[in-house]
Amino acid sequence: MTSTSYLSVKALTKYIKRKFDADPHLRDVYVTGELSNVKLHSSGHIYFTLKDDSARITATMFRTQASKLSFKPEEGMKVFIRGDVNVYEASGVYQLYAQTMEPDGIGGLFVAFNQLKERLQKEGLFNDDFKQPIPQFPETIGILTATTGAAIRDICTTIKRRYPQAEILIYPTLVQGAGAAPNITENIYLANRHALCDVLIVGRGGGSIEDLWAFNEEIVARAIFESRIPIISAVGHETDTTIADFVADLRAPTPTAAAELAVPNQQQLYQQILHHQSIMHQMMTSRLNFERNRLTKLRNSYPLATPERLYRPFIERLVQMDSALQNAAKLYMMNEKSKLQTIDSKMKLYSPLHQLTAAKQQLAHRTEQLTNVMQQELAKSKVMFTNQLRMLEALNPLSLMSKGFSVAYKEEKVVKSIRELNKGDVIHVTFHDGFVEAEVTKKQEQKEGEPK
């Protein structure tokens, strides 16, 4: 075979694809299986594998079809798929292109309900900590429901019957169909912006799960959760349960029950008032009788029969205290008078004239003492001077010289020993009446033991 007899991969793939396109059985396929390798792409496309016990097929669901799903495809979920089978030329594999998808065994809406319920519950939107109390005596009640139908009539009739003084503010709302969820959300936000209502009733009459589905939408649930006005949900019959019921501050089984929960019963309030009035009347009557009997006993008591006996001890006590006060005042005056006399004596004692006289006397006395001491010291000094003078006279070298003694000097120093002189030295000899200069011509020391 020549090379022209061989097909290219592209040509072969195109041929196979035309075969798939031409097969009418592959254009509209109904297949069931288990989801595997589910990938929810950011573009909105869903890529997955559909498998059973023996085989598997790659599948794709494009964004246009995926946006219509009421549930989220998950790993291991069994589903029914309607679509077509074709070849993806780029990879040369055939795959299933899904047009619709439904859960196997239960409806897609029910799956979507459970999925949203689980997610919102994890976020805490159902927690009782976030539930707001319903006002006991609301002045204005807002109603978000369709203006046609039994629900609006039942709610208004019940409110007027039970609590006619309350005002009703109706927000006409779509409660079924494609635009119901956005309209419910918009009216909840609108009522909060108006801030005219004390409580909101959001609901509708009964119906299928498809009819009630607007109250299972996430945007409605979040609007109810974010509402600053307390909300009572009233969707369907007592057996119907929606996401709105879990998020609302209070759930009512029916619209009529919601009206009953929103307002008190006027007749019951009136009966309660009458009952409390009767109880208060009985209590006041009993109290008055008790106090009246007590007053009678007090009036007939011994102290009140003879009131002067009550204050007699106080009069006696007053007399005693008055006498004690007078005595204390006299004693106080005597003490203060004595203190005054003492102060007067001290003032006289320390007055300037008295202090000057005392100072003069003290000065004269001190002067006399000083004079006597000075005379005694002067006499002592004279005696000591005389004695010292006599001692100096006795020790005066001149006195000794007058008796024949002389003093020799060498170079202005007294010669105390012959050892200080040498032959030829010039000495200065002082007598009591003059001095001479002499030269040493002979020196002879006295030997030890010789007579002087």
Q: Clarify whether residues 119 and 247 are in a common domain.
A: yes
Average pLDDT over residues 234-259: 90
Question: Considering only CA atoms, which of 92, 65, 63, 64 is closest in space to residue 81?
Answer: 65
Q: Clarify whether residues 73 and 182 are in a common domain.
A: no
Q: Clarify whether residues 83 and 211 are in a common domain.
A: no
Q: Clarify whether residues 83 and 216 are in a common domain.
A: no
Percent of the chain with pLDDT strictly greater than 70: 89
Number of helices (H), then strands (E), in the chain = 13, 14
339: pLDDT strictly greater than 90: no
Q: Give the integer Cα–Cα distance in Å for 239 and 245.
A: 12
Among 205, 235, 264, residue at a domain's last position:
264
Range of the domain at 47: 9-105
Average pLDDT over residues 304-316: 69
172: pLDDT strictly greater than 70: yes
Burial (CB count <10 Å: 0-12, 13-18, 19+), residue 57: middle
Q: Clarify whether residues 150 and 214 are in a common domain.
A: yes
CATH for 195: 3.40.50.261
Tokens of 248: 């609302």
pLDDT value at position 126?
93
The total domain count for the chain is 3
Average pLDDT over residues 75-83: 85
356: pLDDT strictly greater than 90: no
Between 187 and 409, residue with greater pLDDT:
187
Q: Which helix (H) or strand (E) holds 441?
A: none
Q: What phi-psi label fits residue 179: left (phi over 0), alpha (psi between -120 and 50 degrees) or beta?
A: alpha
105: pLDDT strictly greater than 60: no
CATH for 24: 2.40.50.140
Give tens-digit pLDDT for 133-168.
Answer: 999 999 999 999 999 888 999 999 999 999 999 999
Tokens of 48: 């997955």
Eight-state DSSP code of residue 165: T
Identify whether 380 is part of a domain.
Answer: no
Q: Clarify whether residues 54 and 181 are in a common domain.
A: no
Contact indicator for 253, 240 with CB cutoff of 8 Å: no
β-bridge partners, 202: 144, 233
Provide the 10 A C-beta neighbour count for residue 415.
17
Contact indicator for 193, 211 with CB cutoff of 8 Å: no
Report residue 273: phi and psi, to 5°: -65, -45
Tokens of 57: 């097929």
308: pLDDT strictly greater than 80: no
Verdict on whether the full-model pTM lies above 0.75: no
Q: Which helix (H) or strand (E) holds 413?
A: strand 413-414
pLDDT value at position 3?
64
The residue assigned the tokens 């498809």 is: 210
Burial (CB count <10 Å: 0-12, 13-18, 19+), residue 351: exposed
Q: Clarify whether residues 260 and 117 are in a common domain.
A: yes
Buried b (16+ CB within 10 A) or exposed e, 315-326: eeeeeeeeeeee
Q: Clarify whether residues 242 and 167 are in a common domain.
A: yes
Q: Clarify whether residues 98 and 119 are in a common domain.
A: no
Q: Clarify whether residues 122 and 197 are in a common domain.
A: yes
448: pLDDT strictly greater than 90: no
Q: Give the integer Cα–Cα distance in Å for 314 and 122.
A: 80
pLDDT value at position 53?
79
Q: Clarify whether residues 89 and 232 are in a common domain.
A: no
Identify whether 52 is part of a domain.
Answer: yes
Percent of the chain with pLDDT strictly greater than 90: 33
pLDDT value at position 206?
83
Burial (CB count <10 Å: 0-12, 13-18, 19+), residue 131: middle
Identify whether 4 is part of a domain.
Answer: no
Report residue 6: phi and psi, to 5°: -90, 140
Provide the 10 A C-beta neighbour count for residue 308.
7
Question: Considering only CA atoms, which of 40, 65, 70, 38 is closest in space to residue 51?
Answer: 38
Burial (CB count <10 Å: 0-12, 13-18, 19+), residue 84: middle
Least confident of 64-78, 139-153, 174-188: 64-78
Q: Clarify whether residues 146 and 226 are in a common domain.
A: yes
Identify whether 321 is part of a domain.
Answer: no
Q: What is the mean pLDDT of the chain?
A: 84
Indicate the angle between helix axes 150-162 and 255-262, nearest 10 degrees.
Answer: 30
83: pLDDT strictly greater than 70: yes
